[in-house]
Chain A
Amino acid sequence: MASSIRVRAILNGDTTDVQTLIQHPMDTGLVKDSKGELIPAHYIQQLSFEHNGKTVFQADWGTAVSKDPYVKFAFKGAAKGDEIKVSWLDNKGATDSLTAKIQ
């Protein structure tokens, strides 16, 4: 199974640019399906990025984050080849994580 997470971390001078795309429906719970029934809310609530065991970025998300969320940030203190771990948790308790090397 392919991971739901795609991450690209690139060292640029002394900062590492991190771009992430996650496959997730991010259903708001306000939209009806073709039968007129409400699609229950299903969205990622927390997303975190760890480098050397330290959290470098953390997101708390509501239902207003777009489907298949994208987020971009940058942090300092990493070297090429270091690993960055991305994990998310949604409102139904599902989680996924991925570790990527900094390029």
Chain B
Amino acid sequence: MTASFGPAVTRRLIIQGAGALALIGLGQGTLGAWPALAANDKYPDDAFKQKNAAEAIKALYGKDHEPSDKVKLDAPEIAENGGVVPISVTTTLPDVSSISFVVSENPFALAASYKFPEGTVPAVANRLKMAKTSNVIALVEAGGKLYSATKEVKVTVGGCGG
């Protein structure tokens, strides 16, 4: 938008903007629950409420994990800002169905869990909050078994309001 179009165009843009806003509002009201996720697994509320890493893993997967060198966890040695710690995982394991991240020393240990349908590359990168220096555990569920990789990340400034 440039000044040469004059005020009429500006006004039209404003009206269009208002219309779009109203439409978005309508969409949220009428759609209600979103269809995209309705068919999928439920949100694992219970697992996210566990304070302890072992209990969170048990609530989410219900089985033990074994360390595997086929799970590559990439996280910084030292995180200067615990509020934004870039963490990623890749794996060469076949038949991966899910990948999850657990930060042992966080108030709630489970941070994120990702589901991988067939055809999706078993790798994910995200950014997590860390309250303090802690082990980060990457869990990979593959072929019905649970594998893991663990790395300690030192945090100089916590990211959970500490």
- The tally of residues in A whose CB lies under 8 Å from a CB in B reads 40
Which residues of chain B have C-beta atoms less than 8 A from A50's C-beta? 36
Question: Is the beta-carbon distance between A59 and B160 smaller than 8 angstroms?
Answer: no
Complex-state Cα separation, A95 to B103, whole angstroms = 27
Which residues of chain A have C-beta atoms less than 8 A from B130's C-beta? 64
A62-B120 contact, Cβ under 8 Å, with A67-B83, A71-B125, A95-B28: no
- The tally of residues in B whose CB lies under 8 Å from a CB in A reads 43
Question: Is the beta-carbon distance between B128 and A65 smaller than 8 angstroms?
Answer: yes
Question: Is the beta-carbon distance between B113 and A59 smaller than 8 angstroms?
Answer: yes
B121 in the interface, Cβ–Cβ < 8 Å? yes
Which residues of chain B have C-beta atoms less than 8 A from A46's C-beta? 37, 43
A66-B127 contact, Cβ under 8 Å, with A1-B24, A48-B40, A55-B36: yes
Question: Is the beta-carbon distance between B108 and A57 smaller than 8 angstroms?
Answer: no
| Complex: chain A residue closest to B31, CB-CB | A95
Question: Is the beta-carbon distance between A58 and B119 smaller than 8 angstroms?
Answer: no
Contact of A62 among B17, B21, B36, B112 (CB under 8 A): B112
**What DSSP secondary structure best describes chain A's contact surface?**
strand
> Which residues A30-79 have CB closer than 8 A to chain B?
30-32, 45-46, 48, 50, 54-67, 69-77
Question: Is the beta-carbon distance between B120 and A61 smaller than 8 angstroms?
Answer: no
CB distance from B87 to the nearest CB of A (A): 10
Complex-state Cα separation, A55 to B41, whole angstroms = 12
B13 in the interface, Cβ–Cβ < 8 Å? no
Using a CB–CB cutoff of 8 Å, the interface residues on chain B facing chain A are 17, 20-21, 24, 28, 31, 34, 36-37, 40, 43-44, 48, 83-85, 88, 103, 106-108, 110-117, 119-121, 123-130, 159-161
Closest 4 CB pairs of A and B: A31-B161, A64-B111, A66-B127, A74-B121
Give 23 CB contacts A-B under 8 Å. Answer: A1-B20, A46-B37, A57-B115, A57-B116, A58-B37, A59-B113, A59-B114, A60-B115, A63-B108, A63-B129, A64-B108, A64-B111, A64-B128, A66-B126, A66-B127, A70-B127, A71-B125, A73-B120, A73-B121, A74-B120, A76-B121, A94-B28, A95-B28
